[in-house]
Amino acid sequence: MSGIDGKVVAITGASSGIGEATAVLLAAGGAKVVLGARRADRLEALAARITSAGGAAVWTRTDVRRREDLTALVAFARQEYGRLDVLINNAGVGPISPLDELRVDEWDEMVDINFKGVLHGIAAALPVFRAQGAGHMVNIVSTAGLRIVPNQAVYAATKNAVRTVSEGLRQEAGADLRVTMVSPGYVGTDFADSVTSPGVRAQIVASQQAFAIPPEAIARAIAFAIEQPADVDVGDIVVRPTAQA
Residue 228 vs residues 176, 184, 222, 233, 234: alpha-carbon distances, Å: 14, 20, 11, 8, 8
CATH, range 8-237: 3.40.50.720
Q: Which helix (H) or strand (E) holds 105?
A: helix 104-110
pLDDT reported for residue 1: 62
Question: Is beta strand 8-12 parallel, antiparallel or unpaired with respect to 86-89?
Answer: parallel
Q: Which of 84, 80, 88 is nearest to 36 (CA)?
A: 88
DSSP helix/strand/coil, 198:
helix
Residue pLDDT tens, the chain, 245 long: 679 999 999 999 999 999 999 999 999 999 999 999 999 999 999 999 999 999 999 999 999 999 999 999 999 999 999 999 999 999 999 999 999 999 999 999 999 999 999 999 999 999 999 999 999 999 999 999 999 999 999 999 999 999 999 999 999 999 999 999 999 999 999 888 889 999 999 989 999 999 999 999 999 999 999 999 999 999 999 999 999 98
* 162 neighbors 115 (Cβ within 8 angstroms): yes
Distance CA 124, CA 169 (A): 14
Q: Any idea which residues carry the catalytic annotation?
A: 155
Residues 6+ apart with CB under 8 A from 239: 182, 183, 184, 185, 213, 217, 218, 221
Residue 9 near residue 226, CB atoms below 8 Å: yes
